[in-house]
């Protein structure tokens, strides 16, 4: 009999997001604290064998879709081997990446039947991109985005919007979809440890929608939301691609959440905003069955945003991890 991970609100969880590594080859300020994160011994993280054992448990419990994230997953030295194993499990396999190293893995991605790539790019202006990421990789990232489209991947571009930083490029991003068949997703700036979030930096769903309605008027059409979708999607009539808005802060989508996160150090986060975690790796190393821990984590999931009642407060603070150590 097939098992499923269903929480007390009736939400079935069949989507696992795995952070392969906490490290990254970019230093985006909304993701990584200015002082970086403390480097830990590799013994604190899942080995390849341990990762496979934990993932096998999840697949046995009804996981149908896996997304590999980081840090930056493509800098994981055994990334191709991990990809190959996960591809053998019969699940839908997707990647979230900053795009820098994609050109090294086209064949591996095709062999693993990866069809969808989420690529982070927060500015189309080279100097601004370099300032946000604190690195100089714009040309390589942009070329890999175009190559991914040419190779037939379903490409989504993720742009975290920050007030007075890149919110002036919203229309520029949408205009890219006139020529290219990818989806741009505008993501509201979210609070994590060390990223200096506050409400004044948030570009809300309503703000984006007001701007695009003014720009495109009756040429703008809303698309049907995918089951368990995180974005509300739109298309300009006649354009090849589309765009969406992910409004985790001002207009969350918790009712249809089907996602579980597994961190690189082997802990479950049942919500992106959760300050509570369930340690699978320690239990696995002690020879214990981790299945009951997975069920307990799902059963303890709150109805909305990890139960953060003070989320709307101006002085909101979080004890959650930094984004880089959670996984995108």
pLDDT at residue 17, as a whole number:
96
Kindly provide the b/e burial profile for residues 171-209, where b requires at least 16 CB atoms within 10 angstroms of the residue's own CB: eebbebbeebebbbbbbbbbbbbbbebebebbbbbebbb
Strands 15-19 and 65-69: parallel
pLDDT at residue 1, as a whole number:
45
Q: What token pair was written down for 71? A: 């840090």
CB-based contact 28:271 (threshold 8 Å): no
Question: Could you read off the pLDDT tens digit of each residue along the chain, which spans 328 residues?
Answer: 467 899 999 999 999 999 999 988 888 877 776 666 677 899 999 999 999 999 999 999 999 999 999 889 999 999 999 999 999 999 999 999 999 999 999 999 999 999 999 999 999 999 999 999 989 999 999 999 999 999 999 999 999 998 989 999 999 999 999 999 999 999 887 665 544 556 567 888 999 999 999 999 999 999 998 888 888 999 999 999 999 998 866 666 688 899 999 999 999 999 877 888 999 999 999 999 999 999 999 999 998 876 665 555 455 455 655 555 565 5
Nearest of 180, 160, 181, 179 to residue 170 by alpha carbon: 160
Query: What is the Cα 65 distance to its own chain's centre?
Result: 13
pLDDT at residue 28, as a whole number:
81
Domain ranges of the chain: 5-326
pLDDT at residue 317, as a whole number:
55
Find where tokens 């986060």 sit.
269
Q: What token pair was written down for 286? A: 């002690």
pLDDT at residue 192, as a whole number:
52
CB-based contact 70:31 (threshold 8 Å): no
CB-based contact 279:32 (threshold 8 Å): no
Stretch (H or E) spanning 82 = helix 79-87
pTM of the model: 0.90
CB-based contact 236:219 (threshold 8 Å): yes
Greatest CA span in the chain, whole angstroms? 61
pLDDT at residue 195, as a whole number:
47
> What class has domain 5-326?
alpha beta
Nearest of 324, 240, 312 to residue 32 by alpha carbon: 324
**CA pair distance 51, 35, nearest whole angstrom:** 29
Q: What token pair was written down for 170? A: 């919203």
DSSP 180-226: S--EEEEEE----TTS---GGGB--HHHHHHHHHHHHGGGEEEPPPP
CA geometry: angle at 69 spanning 64 and 74, to 5°?
120
Distances (CA, A) of 325 to 22, 74, 112, 250: 5, 15, 26, 24
Angle of the 205-216 helix axis to the 170-179 helix axis, nearest 10: 60
Task: Say how many Å lie between the first and final Cα of the chain, rounded.
Answer: 33
């Amino acid at each position: 009999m097939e098992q499923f991970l269903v929480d007390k609100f009736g939400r079935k969880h069949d989507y696992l997001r795995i952070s392969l590594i906490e490290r990254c080859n970019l230093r985006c300020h909304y993701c990584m604290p200015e002082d970086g994160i403390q480097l830990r011994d590799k013994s604190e993280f899942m080995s390849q064998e341990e990762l496979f054992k934990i993932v096998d448990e999840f697949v046995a419990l009804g996981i149908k879709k896996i997304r590999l994230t980081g840090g930056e997953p493509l800098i994981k030295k055994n990334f191709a081997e991990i990809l190959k194993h996960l591809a053998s499990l019969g699940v839908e396999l997707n990647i979230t990446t900053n795009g820098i190293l994609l050109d090294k893995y086209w064949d591996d991605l095709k062999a693993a039947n990866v069809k969808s790539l989420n690529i982070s790019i927060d500015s189309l202006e080279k100097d601004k991109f370099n300032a946000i990421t604190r690195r100089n990789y714009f040309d390589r990232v942009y070329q890999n985005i175009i190559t991914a489209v040419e190779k037939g991947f379903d490409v989504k571009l993720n742009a975290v919007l920050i007030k007075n930083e890149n919110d002036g490029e919203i229309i520029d991003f949408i205009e890219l979809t006139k020529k290219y068949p990818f989806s741009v997703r505008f993501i509201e700036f979210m609070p994590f440890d060390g990223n200096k979030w506050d409400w004044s930096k948030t570009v809300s769903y309503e703000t984006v929608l007001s701007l695009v309605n003014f720009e495109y008027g009756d040429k703008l059409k809303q698309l049907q939301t995918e089951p368990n979708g995180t974005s509300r999607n739109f298309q300009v009539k006649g354009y090849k691609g589309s765009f969406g808005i992910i409004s985790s802060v001002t207009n969350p989508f918790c009712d249809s959440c089907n996602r579980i996160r597994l961190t690189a150090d082997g802990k479950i986060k049942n919500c992106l905003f959760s300050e509570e975690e369930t340690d699978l790796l320690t239990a696995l190393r002690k020879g214990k069955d981790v299945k009951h821990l997975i069920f307990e984590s799902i059963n303890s999931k709150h109805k909305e945003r990890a139960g953060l009642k003070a989320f709307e407060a101006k002085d909101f603070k979080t004890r959650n991890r930094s984004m880089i150590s959670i996984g995108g």
